[in-house]
Amino acid sequence: MKNLRPILLAEDNPNDVELTLAALHSANVANEIVVVPDGEQALDYLHRRGRFAGRTTPQPCVILLDLKMPKIDGLEVLRSIRADPALHTLAVVVFTSSREEQDLVKSYQLGTNAYVVKPVDFNSFISAIGQLGFFWALLNEPPPVSV
């Protein structure tokens, strides 16, 4: 069994966090799920600073990134990730409720790997997260990274 890298979930809505964790669990995704409620903490996690300064785990296999977050929004987080040579190859999936074309276009311009609109229907939400988790955590072969 390959070493499992964590999944970083950057999401400020507690209901969406709960649903996402339940969906990943039901899809048998065994990776650790790290949840941060805003863009600032997402960047702190990735840069191993603040409360994550002592983190020794590898970088995540995928970042599930909401766009509309406090402190630093998802687009700024994405811009920062893609501008950093140490982070720019990380897989980032924008997982948002925004259906605005400008958010979609800007996300791809900034280098997202995928843009998924959160389904409103409970079963569709669970299915979408399960499929995302299965693909990015189990099927996708990310580039090697150091701890």
Give me the CATH number covering residue 38: 3.40.50.2300
The answer to whether 142 touches 6, Cβ cutoff 8 Å, is no
Query: Which pLDDT does position 119 carry in this prediction?
Result: 78
Domain count, the chain: 1
Q: Does the residue 103 lie in any domain?
A: yes
Q: Does the residue 72 lie in any domain?
A: yes
Model confidence band, residue 1 (pLDDT cutoffs 50, 70, 90): very low
Q: Does the residue 1 lie in any domain?
A: no
Range of the domain at 111: 7-139
Indicate the range of 77-86, 100-109, 131-140 predicted with least confidence.
Answer: 131-140
Q: Does the residue 14 lie in any domain?
A: yes
Q: Does the residue 58 lie in any domain?
A: yes
* pTM confidence score: 0.90
User: Residue 107 corresponds to which amino acid?
Assistant: S
Q: What is the pLDDT of the chain when averaged over all its residues?
A: 89
Helix (H, G, I), strand (E, B) or coil at 146: coil
Q: Does the residue 144 lie in any domain?
A: no
What is the rounded radius of gyration, in angstroms, for the C-alpha atoms of the chain? 14
Q: Does the residue 147 lie in any domain?
A: no
Q: Does the residue 39 lie in any domain?
A: yes
Q: How far apart are alpha carbons 88 and 141 in whole angstroms? A: 16
| Size of the chain, expressed as the number of residues it contains | 147
